[in-house]
Amino acid sequence: MIVLMALGMLIAVAVPGISEAARIKDIANVGGVRSNQLIGYGLVVGLNGTGEKNNAFSEQSFRTMLNNFGIKVDPSVRPKIKDVAPVIVHADLPPFAKPGQVIDVTVSAIGEAKSLRGGTLLQTFLKGVDGNIYAVAQGSLVVSGLGVEGADGSKVVVNTPTVGRIANGATVEREVPSAFNIGDTINLNLVRSDFTTAKRVAGIINSKYGNGTATAVDGVTIRIQAPRDSNQRVEYLSQIENLDVEQGNEAAKIIVNSRTGTIVIGQNVRLRPVAITHGGLTVSIKENTQVSQPEPFSGGETVVVPNSNISVTEKTGKMFKLDTGTTLDDLVRAINQVGMAPGDLMSVLEALEQAGAIEGELVII
């Protein structure tokens, strides 16, 4: 790939035609082996006056917590809960996680709490999409953000003080069922869809374990025959994921980021015969305000008269011609000779795409 940056139009060119082999484990995932999202609602206590104001759901949560400990609060009493904050707790449960293992959790305030610094998360149940509890979280928060506020309303906020993390803050209570040891096959799913890569992965596996071992189902999935014994299956997959395979070339694309001025051009991009010229037209308007003073004793009034000076400057544009099959190196060389700015280059690329002169896809983000 090459990258054109807005600062000084920095250009880096990758050598075309060179493709390096990658391990299968770096470009594909095992079907069904994935993490699962967990979420829960809880309370953070011990805040130094930066917690929740007295709103309905925070008060209800506080009362429910006290009721769980056998403490009854009269409905007419409104507890002050400025040291308490309702939060959402979420985590990712890794594949094959077993009961008793621990995972990290992220805690985020959902009310009007100003900061979670110094708080402690009370026991919170983390549920999966099926509604079952898979982990229980509790512990002291680590908050990197900081927020302070003065009596006059001025305040300073660094990072985000209403989000914190608890390392190893949740204990796994339930194992997610896995289909890894079920059936006679294993599916490998490519991270990026590519028919050529899928074919090559199946080919390299068949060359090592025999024809018919692997089949490319589509541009993503490669189905592999596998032993049913779990120990043999793990050993078998360990060998397969460390095989080297040469990936297929990426599709020809030009990525233009209009916000940052970054332009990325793939090495497979080609241009059809085209002639390009690009010039700059600058219009400058300068306002010179003048005062009109009447003659003495004329009875007139002093008025302000606007005086606009408009100038037009046109920069001479250079024309260059690109022949059939123009490569990335040729395009970069021509751009450097003309001396285009990134903004001008974006306009040229859009015009080339509209003219059908680009053999590839122009993506503007």
What is the model's pLDDT at position 12?
39
- Exposed e or buried b per residue across 213-223, where buried means at least 16 C-beta atoms within 10 angstroms of its C-beta: bbebeeebbbb
Q: Highest-confidence range of 142-146, 153-157, 192-196, by mean pLDDT? A: 192-196
Nearest-angstrom CA–CA distance, 257 and 362: 11
In this prediction, residues 179-205 reach a mean pLDDT of 90
Whether the pLDDT of residue 45 is over 80: the answer is yes
What is the model's pLDDT at position 299?
66
Residue 346 or residue 6, greater confidence: 346
Average pLDDT, the chain: 78
What is the model's pLDDT at position 137?
96
What is the model's pLDDT at position 265?
76
Dig out the tokens for 47 from the structure.
């805040």
What is the model's pLDDT at position 16?
46
Model confidence band, residue 327 (pLDDT cutoffs 50, 70, 90): low
Whether the pLDDT of residue 128 is over 50: the answer is yes
Whether the pLDDT of residue 31 is over 80: the answer is yes
Using an 8 Å Cβ cutoff, are 333 and 247 in contact?
Answer: no
What is the model's pLDDT at position 17?
46
What is the model's pLDDT at position 75?
74
What is the model's pLDDT at position 317?
54
CATH code 3.30.70 region(s) in the chain: 181-246
In this prediction, residues 152-173 reach a mean pLDDT of 79
Using an 8 Å Cβ cutoff, are 364 and 345 in contact?
Answer: no
Q: How many CB atoms lie within 10 A of CB 284?
A: 9
What is the model's pLDDT at position 207?
92
pLDDT tens by residue, 277-326: 666 545 454 556 676 677 776 666 777 666 656 554 555 555 555 555 55
Which of the four CATH numbers 3.30.70, 3.40.462, 3.40.630, 3.40.50 does domain 181-246 have? 3.30.70
pTM of the full structure: 0.66
pLDDT tens by residue, 272-288: 776 666 665 454 545 56
What is the model's pLDDT at position 99?
95
Using an 8 Å Cβ cutoff, are 306 and 287 in contact?
Answer: yes
Angstrom CA distances, 219 to 38, 47, 185, 250, 257, stand at 31, 53, 18, 13, 28
